[in-house]
Amino acid sequence: MVGFCNVYADSIESSRNILWNDIVSILNSFPLSWVVGGDFNSVLDPLERIGVSSNLGSIRNFNSFVLRAKIFDIPLQGMEFTWSNFRDTVAWSRLDRFLISPVLLSRIPQLRQRGLPRSVSDHNPIVMDTPKIDWGPSPFHFFNVWREDKKMMDDVRSGWKIFNRSVSGILSARMKMVKYRMKRWHSLHKTDTFSWKSYEERMANIDMKAMSKGWDVNLRNERVELLKEAWIGSKKEEQMEAWIRSRKEEQTWRQKSRVKWLKEGDRNSKFFHFVANGRKRSNFIGDLYFNSVHMTDPRLIKEEAAELELIKGEDFGGKDVHITHLQFADDTILFIKPEMEYVMNIKRIFKCFELASGLKVNFHKFGVARVGYKVHMNSLWATALKCKAVSLPISYLGFPLGARPGSKVFWNTLVEKIETRLAPWKRRFLSKSGKLVLIKYVISSILIYFMSVFRISVGIAQRIEKLQRSFLCGDGGVKRKIHALKWDEVRRSKNKGGLGIGKVAVKNKGMLAKWVWRFSNEGKALWKRVIVARYGLDSGSLYWNWKGTHHPSFFTKAIASLYKENNRAVWMLKQGTKVIIGDEARASFWKDISIESSDLQESFPCIYVLATLKEGVVADFGQWEGEEWKWSIPLRRKVFGWEQSQ
Give tens-digit pLDDT for 519-556: 877 778 888 888 888 777 776 666 666 665 557 777 87
pLDDT above 70: residue 214: no
CB 613 within 8 A of CB 620: yes
Q: What is the DSSP string of 507-553?
A: HHHHHHHHHHHHHHH-TT-HHHHHHHHHHT--TTSSS------SS--
Map residue 227 onto helix, strand or coil. helix
Claim to verify: residue 306 and residue 347 sit in the same structural domain? yes
pLDDT above 80: residue 87: no
pLDDT above 60: residue 597: no
pLDDT band at 40 (very low <50, low <70, confident <90, very high): very high
Which of 87, 30, 36 lies closest to 66, judged by CA? 36
Percent of the chain with pLDDT over 90: 8
Ranked by mean pLDDT, the top range of 318-322, 424-428, 462-466 is 462-466
In a domain, 148, yes or no: no
How many CB atoms are closer than 10 A to CB 600? 20
371 sits in the region (left: phi over 0; alpha: psi -120 to 50; else beta) called beta
Range of the domain at 17: 2-129
In a domain, 200, yes or no: yes
Claim to verify: residue 386 and residue 416 sit in the same structural domain? no
In a domain, 212, yes or no: yes
pLDDT above 80: residue 6: yes
Ranked by mean pLDDT, the top range of 40-49, 325-334, 544-553 is 40-49
Percent of the chain with pLDDT over 70: 70
In a domain, 185, yes or no: no
Ranked by mean pLDDT, the top range of 272-281, 440-449, 560-569 is 440-449
**pTM of the entire predicted model:** 0.50
Claim to verify: residue 59 and residue 118 sit in the same structural domain? yes
List Cα–Cα distances, 422 to 35, 66, 111, 240, 434, in angstroms: 22, 13, 23, 57, 12
pLDDT, tens digit, for every residue of 231-242? 554 545 555 555
Q: CATH number of the domain that 42 lies in?
A: 3.60.10.10
Claim to verify: residue 122 and residue 63 sit in the same structural domain? yes
Give the mean model confidence (pLDDT) for residues 212-218: 67
pLDDT band at 88 (very low <50, low <70, confident <90, very high): low
pLDDT above 60: residue 251: no
Claim to verify: residue 21 and residue 87 sit in the same structural domain? yes
What is the rounded CA–CA span in Å between residue 367 and residue 351? Answer: 17
Claim to verify: residue 121 and residue 22 sit in the same structural domain? yes
Claim to verify: residue 10 and residue 124 sit in the same structural domain? yes
What is the rounded CA–CA span in Å between residue 21 and residue 287? Answer: 72
Comparing 92-96, 190-194, 226-230, which segment has the lowest mean pLDDT?
A: 190-194
> Which residues sit opposite 605 in a β-bridge?
none
Ranked by mean pLDDT, the top range of 178-187, 244-253, 373-382, 449-458 is 449-458
**Measured over all CA atoms, what is the biggest interatomic distance in the chain, rounded to whole angstroms?**
127
Claim to verify: residue 371 and residue 416 sit in the same structural domain? no
Counting the structural domains of the chain, the total is 5
In a domain, 547, yes or no: no
- Pick the more confident residue, 625 or 4: 4
In a domain, 639, yes or no: yes
Last-in-domain residue among 76, 102, 129: 129
Map residue 76 onto helix, strand or coil. strand
In a domain, 485, yes or no: yes
Last-in-domain residue among 357, 382, 401: 401
List Cα–Cα distances, 591 to 48, 225, 544, in angstroms: 50, 74, 11
Claim to verify: residue 70 and residue 8 sit in the same structural domain? yes
Give the mean model confidence (pLDDT) for residues 348-354: 84
CA count, 13 A, side-chain hemisphere, 504: 27
Give the mean model confidence (pLDDT) for residues 284-288: 57
Claim to verify: residue 7 and residue 123 sit in the same structural domain? yes
In this predicted structure, what is the pLDDT of residue 448? 82
Q: Please state, rounded to an integer, the average pLDDT across all residues of the chain.
A: 75
Claim to verify: residue 395 and residue 424 sit in the same structural domain? no
Claim to verify: residue 44 and residue 84 sit in the same structural domain? yes
What is the rounded CA–CA span in Å between residue 554 and residue 566? Answer: 19
Last-in-domain residue among 354, 375, 401: 401
In a domain, 145, yes or no: no
